[in-house]
A and B are shown apart, each in its own frame.
Chain A
Amino acid sequence: AQTVTQSQPEMSVQEAETVTLSCTYDTSENNYYLFWYKQPPSRQMILVIRQEAYKQQNATENRFSVNFQKAAKSFSLKISDSQLGDTAMYFCAFMKPLYSGAQKLVFGQGTRLTINP
């Protein structure tokens, strides 16, 4: 079974700083997807960024980027120029593609990130 581990329960940085959230996972699959989801205090979970395991290039979305190390099974999220609106719970998640039926997400424990003014 796949597992996802986020070793940082809480983090806090000043506005405009860069912060990196860690995530490691365990799988025997060669092809899979990795995600970072954000859950602001209002609770709606939204997708931040996704990475396909067969792509070596790290995904980026504006101020958000990942460092995907497939051999090390590591998938960290970097937030540049952090903003107050980045305050949220962040979840790392793994998806093993299924070719029929539903594709299940396996989540890490979450990291509570606080951006201070």
Chain B
Amino acid sequence: DVKVTQSSRYLVKRTGEKVFLECVQDMDHENMFWYRQDPGLGLRLIYFSYDVKMKEKGDIPEGYSVSREKKERFSLILESASTNQTSMYLCASQGFGTDTQYFGPGTRLTVL
């Protein structure tokens, strides 16, 4: 089975802090994604990556950056956290040429 793990289930940070959210997948998938989930809005794509060191902006990239130095790991970075970035963050991976995304358990981030 595909396993996607995220470094934290719950995270509390202060406004202005730099925040790293880590995601690791164990199925050698080329594609990885970061979404944020907010009530009434569903999931919205922040960034995705289709290869090591490759990244593309999703629908809401402002205030975020990403890093993919190794195939199995995709990091989401909040350079200076703000209260409006309080949300649930979900990571997903997908094999190239396949249509199913596999999700991690999510990280509930609270920015105070």
Which of A6, A43, A45, A102 sits near B56, CB closer than 8 Å? A102
Which of A33, A45, A102, A108 sits near B90, CB closer than 8 Å? A45
Please name all residues of chain B whose beta carbon is closer than 8 Å to the beta carbon of A43 when the two chains form the complex.
Answer: 88, 105-106
Please name all residues of chain A whose beta carbon is closer than 8 Å to the beta carbon of B41 when the two chains form the complex.
Answer: 109
Using a Cβ–Cβ cut-off of 8 Å, how many residues does chain B contribute to the interface with A?
A: 26
Please name all residues of chain B whose beta carbon is closer than 8 Å to the beta carbon of A33 when the two chains form the complex.
Answer: 99
Which of A9, A37, A105 sits near B45, CB closer than 8 Å? A105
CB-CB contacts below 8 Å: B13-62 with A: 30-31, 33, 35, 40-45, 48-50, 56, 58
Q: Flag if A105 contacts B105 (CB, 8 Å).
A: no
Q: Is the interface of A mostly helix, strand, loop or mixed?
A: loop
For B29, the closest partner residue in chain A by CB is A102
Known: A44-B105, A102-B49, A102-B94. A107 touches B43 (CB 8 A): yes
For A109, the closest partner residue in chain B by CB is B42
Known: A91-B42, A91-B43, A108-B42. A102 touches B105 (CB 8 A): no
Beyond the given pairs A102-B30, A109-B42, 16 more chain A to chain B contacts, judged by CB atoms under 8 angstroms and listed by A's residue number, are A6-B42, A45-B92, A45-B103, A47-B100, A47-B101, A95-B99, A97-B99, A104-B33, A105-B33, A105-B43, A105-B45, A105-B92, A105-B101, A107-B44, A108-B42, A109-B41
